[in-house]
């Protein structure tokens, strides 16, 4: 499998990217990038242009003042005469005079001169008037022949260099005719064949002979455009059939050094030597020109207006000993060129940069090993992408790639700025960036596919976990897991059921949140919008719990039939059975085993301060666990205890009877025999609990359940009083009923089962005569009597009471705990003896 999938590996992708970049290294895109980097290197380099070079511009101002272009060549002659008089070194005129300039009247003048000459030739003597006309015609001919005027100026100057223009292309034969001598004398005699080549030409345009013959030299004005149309190099030599002609810039530089074609040596594709100057070239014999940066928006060279010099505003003496270049900069005259330092440079300014580069040996060199260096850089980067990058982590890989990119760019700019060497490294830099991005993208896509697969698996896992948590009653955790699943109809079904569970637990605010989550996905899902509204209403009006003063009486049962039956833990609440001091008692059902239970609730958080609550809860579950271990026919069986939203509850055996409170009222007392039978069984239950180290602490009629039909007696609420340890609650209620408390319990002493027997005595007293043994107008008076005064003789209240029963009651109510009954079994025995 690994071998079959090698094409998916990172290294294979690196091989492909490297090969593609090698193939594309010569493409226009990469070469354009190389040129842009070259331009930035040129702009970063700082060198001073030659002060010997000055430019006289045929600018917009000059055309506005001297008239439309082209001008009369007489103006060029006047400019030449001014410069010659100022003793300039060289005049390089980049204006191409390809055709004679003839005034329309010149032809008529020459015809009249011919007629006069013919008359004189035929022997006729010219009259004085004819002689005067002949003189005027001769004067007019001289004035109208501007080519001759300019030629005379060039001849007198002896330092004017004019341009040639070639049509580039491969010549496939011989020229139509030999070039004039004034042109051919400019060809280079010393050209050595080399490994390189030279730009070929198949046509040539020369200046008119009358002007070209008077020029000291001619040089071509052809530009070499790069792949992006910019001018960065100068073709120093062009081959026209079997002859080689220098560029105008090369001839201007040569004659400024008093050299000529004979002093110029060319090694094709290698170098051009101008006297002692060595000019390295590329394989096409082109020089990489150094373009000088100007400052403050001004060009690097002095540029003066043709009109200002011609009119004398700028004295010609300024140019003494200098190389003066004349050319057009006006809009619409000539084609501007794109160069590394300007998007629109006039050709005469390009010429100035080139001449300065030659004379000062300022140029950028691409050495013979430069191509191998470029290829080597690409291969090294390729090896990095193929072998090393796939083994690195994302952070380390990014840092190392960035470092290599900085090294490549730094090498490129460092060589150009410091040494004037141009090595093409942008192909390697492009490979580095593209290769890194490709590998990163591939890893991302693979990771995303893995992530999608993982998310699907995770979604299913979260759904299953949500269902498991929901089944365990951990609804918040279930909701959290469901929200991590992508929403769909199946998930909405799960969430809808979860919201119903929240309703059962009377957590309406959470039910509302879940219903809203479903509605946001699909508002038409079942009756979810109705459920949202109802849950919102219920969350604002219903409080969970069982303390007094709560909304809806503190009950969990609501009259809305659309609301799910509430749940407490795993028990479903069916109806309310009654209310106690601390909570409500409900009829509940365990849905798993269909067992009917009584559920007593206690809102501990509403009865106790926060600093007591933790300790109270701990006591509650500890006592519930202890009481839950009791197994006696006269003790209510406890099945379960729990807590939900600070509502503590105990699930216990459901009894059909009622407590004994009604049977303590005068006029509703039970017969003595029945009372004795009930109390004997309560004593048995207490004895069993005390033997198991469980003290009830709150024996009273309300905690004794009696079902007359089956004559069944059950003691309830074992351990409940122990929860609070007789402390006061926030509502001011003392847990445990003071009327039934023993003296030691009121005194806060450590108590045991004998305290319950005292409470049993109080309850027996009440059920036998219909009144309590101890009463008081205040709590303090009541507690004082319990602790210090003997109870009234019960037989004085109910004379029909058996004497033996009175004795049992008296012994149960003894203040001294040591004189009281010690065990419930003894009480039960004495009571049954009363029956006998």
Q: How many CB atoms lie within 10 A of CB 93?
A: 25
The confidence score (pLDDT) of residue 808 equals: 95
The confidence score (pLDDT) of residue 182 equals: 94
Low-confidence ranges of the chain (pLDDT < 50): 1-4, 543-553, 724-735
The confidence score (pLDDT) of residue 813 equals: 96
Please write the tens of the pLDDT for every residue from 453-502. Answer: 767 778 888 889 889 988 887 888 999 999 988 888 889 999 999 988 88
Q: What is the DSSP letter of 710?
A: T
The confidence score (pLDDT) of residue 580 equals: 64
Residues 6+ positions from 617 with CB-CB distance below 8 Å: 604, 643, 648
How many Å apart are CA 35 and CA 713, to the nearest integer? 106
Contact yes or no for 510/538 (Cβ under 8 A): no
How many Å apart are CA 681 and CA 288, to the nearest integer? 120
User: What is the end-to-end Cα distance of the chain in Å, rounded?
Assistant: 96
Counting DSSP H helices and E strands in the chain, the numbers are 29, 28
The confidence score (pLDDT) of residue 538 equals: 75
Tell me which H or E stretch contains 348: helix 347-360
Q: What is the DSSP letter of 222?
A: -
The confidence score (pLDDT) of residue 392 equals: 85
Contact yes or no for 156/231 (Cβ under 8 A): no
How many Å apart are CA 55 and CA 698, to the nearest integer? 119
The confidence score (pLDDT) of residue 724 equals: 46
* Backbone dihedral region for residue 87 (phi beyond 0: left; psi -120 to 50: alpha; all else: beta): left
The confidence score (pLDDT) of residue 730 equals: 44
Angle at Cα 583 formed by Cα 579 and Cα 587, nearest 5°? 65
The confidence score (pLDDT) of residue 543 equals: 44
Residue 504's alpha-carbon distances to 572, 573, 593, 596, in angstroms, are 8, 9, 18, 17
Q: For every residue of 595-657, which 3-state class applies, written as one string? A: EEEEEEEECHHHHCCHHHHHHHHHHHHHHHHHHHCCCCCCECCEEEEEEECCEEEEEEECCCC
Q: Is the pTM of this model over 0.85?
A: no
Between strands 704-707 and 712-715, the pairing is antiparallel
How many Å apart are CA 379 and CA 558, to the nearest integer? 81
Between strands 199-205 and 237-240, the pairing is parallel
Candidates 387, 388, 394, 323; CA nearest to 355 is 323
The confidence score (pLDDT) of residue 728 equals: 44
Contact yes or no for 630/692 (Cβ under 8 A): yes
Residue 530's alpha-carbon distances to 39, 492, 503, in angstroms, are 72, 16, 14
């Amino acid at each position: 499998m690994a071998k079959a999938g090698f094409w998916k590996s990172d290294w294979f992708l690196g091989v492909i990217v490297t090969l593609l970049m090698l193939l594309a290294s010569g493409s226009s895109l990469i070469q354009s990038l190389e040129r842009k980097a070259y331009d930035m290197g040129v702009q970063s380099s700082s060198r001073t242009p030659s002060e010997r070079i000055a430019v006289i511009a045929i600018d917009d101002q000059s055309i506005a003042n001297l008239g439309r272009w082209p001008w009369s060549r007489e103006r060029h002659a006047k400019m030449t005469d001014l410069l010659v008089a100022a003793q300039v070194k060289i005049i390089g005129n980049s204006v191409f005079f390809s055709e004679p300039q003839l005034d329309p009247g010149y032809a008529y003048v020459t015809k009249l001169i011919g007629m006069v000459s013919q008359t004189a030739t035929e022997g006729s003597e010219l009259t004085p008037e004819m002689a005067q006309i002949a003189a005027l015609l001769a004067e007019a001919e001289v004035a109208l022949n501007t080519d001759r005027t300019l030629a005379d100026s060039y001849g007198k100057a002896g330092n004017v260099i004019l341009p040639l223009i070639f049509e580039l292309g491969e010549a496939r034969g011989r020229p139509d005719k030999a070039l004039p001598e004034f042109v051919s004398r400019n060809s280079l005699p010393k050209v050595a064949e080399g490994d390189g080549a030279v730009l070929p030409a198949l046509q040539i345009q020369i200046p008119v002979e009358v002007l070209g013959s008077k020029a000291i030299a001619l040089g071509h004005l052809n530009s070499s455009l790069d792949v992006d149309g910019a001018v960065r190099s100068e073709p120093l030599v062009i081959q026209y059939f079997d002859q080689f002609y220098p560029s105008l810039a090369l001839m201007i530089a040569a004659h400024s050094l008093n050299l000529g074609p004979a002093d110029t040596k060319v090694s094709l594709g290698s170098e051009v030597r101008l006297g002692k100057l060595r000019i390295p070239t590329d394989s096409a014999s082109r020089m990489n020109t150094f373009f000088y940066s100007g400052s403050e928006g001004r060009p690097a060279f002095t540029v003066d207006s043709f009109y200002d010099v011609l009119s004398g505003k700028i004295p010609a003496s300024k140019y003494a000993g200098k190389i003066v270049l004349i050319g057009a900069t006006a809009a619409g005259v000539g084609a501007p060129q794109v160069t590394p330092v300007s998007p629109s440079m006039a050709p005469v300014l390009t010429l100035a940069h080139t001449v300065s580069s030659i004379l000062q040996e300022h140029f950028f060199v691409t050495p013979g090993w430069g191509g191998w260096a470029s290829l080597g850089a690409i291969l090294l980067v390729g090896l990095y992408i193929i072998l090393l990058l796939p083994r690195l982590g994302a952070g380390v890989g990014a840092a190392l790639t960035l470092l290599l990119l900085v090294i490549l760019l730094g090498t490129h700019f460092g060589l150009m700025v410091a040494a004037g060497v141009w090595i093409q490294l942008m192909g390697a830099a492009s490979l580095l960036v593209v290769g890194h991005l490709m590998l990163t993208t591939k890893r991302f896509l693979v990771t995303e596919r893995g992530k999608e697969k993982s998310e699907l698996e995770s979604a299913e896992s979260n759904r299953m976990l949500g269902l498991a948590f929901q089944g365990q009653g951990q609804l918040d955790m279930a909701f959290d897991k469901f929200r991590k699943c992508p929403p769909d109809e199946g998930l909405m079904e799960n969430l809808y059921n979860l919201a119903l569970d929240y309703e059962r637990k009377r957590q309406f605010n959470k039910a509302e949140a879940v219903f809203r989550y479903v509605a946001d996905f699909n508002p038409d899902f079942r009756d979810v919008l109705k459920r949202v509204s109802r849950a919102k209403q219920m969350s604002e009006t219903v409080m969970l719990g069982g303390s007094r003063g709560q909304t809806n009486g503190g009950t969990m049962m609501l009259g809305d039939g659309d609301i799910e039956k509430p749940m407490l833990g795993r028990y479903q609440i069916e109806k309310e059975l009654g209310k106690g001091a601390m909570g409500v008692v409900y009829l509940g059902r365990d849905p798993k085993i269909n067992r009917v239970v009584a559920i007593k609730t206690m809102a501990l958080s509403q009865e106790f301060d926060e600093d007591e609550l933790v300790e109270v809860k701990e006591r509650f579950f500890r006592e519930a666990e202890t009481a839950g271990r009791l197994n006696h026919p006269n003790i209510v069986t406890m099945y379960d205890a729990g807590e939900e939203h600070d509502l503590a509850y105990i699930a216990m055996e459901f009894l059909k009877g009622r407590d004994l409170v009604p049977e303590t009222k005068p006029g509703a007392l039970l017969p003595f025999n029945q009372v004795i039978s009930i109390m004997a069984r309560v004593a048995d239950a207490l004895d069993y609990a005390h033997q198991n180290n469980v003290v009830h602490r709150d024996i009273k009629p309300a905690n004794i359940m009696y079902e007359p039909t089956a004559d069944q007696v059950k003691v309830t609420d074992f351990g409940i009083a122990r929860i609070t340890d007789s402390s006061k609650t926030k509502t001011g209620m003392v847990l445990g009923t003071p009327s039934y408390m023993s003296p030691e319990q009121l005194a806060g002493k450590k108590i045991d089962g004998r305290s319950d027997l005292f409470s049993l005595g109080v309850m027996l007293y009440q059920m036998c005569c219909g009144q309590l043994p101890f009463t008081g107008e205040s709590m303090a008076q009541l507690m004082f009597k319990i602790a210090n005064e003997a109870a009234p003789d019960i037989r004085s209240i109910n004379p029909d009471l058996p004497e033996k029963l009175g004795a049992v009651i008296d012994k149960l109510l003894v203040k001294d705990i040591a004189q009281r009954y010690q065990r419930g079994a003894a009480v039960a025995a004495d009571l049954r003896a009363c029956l006998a």
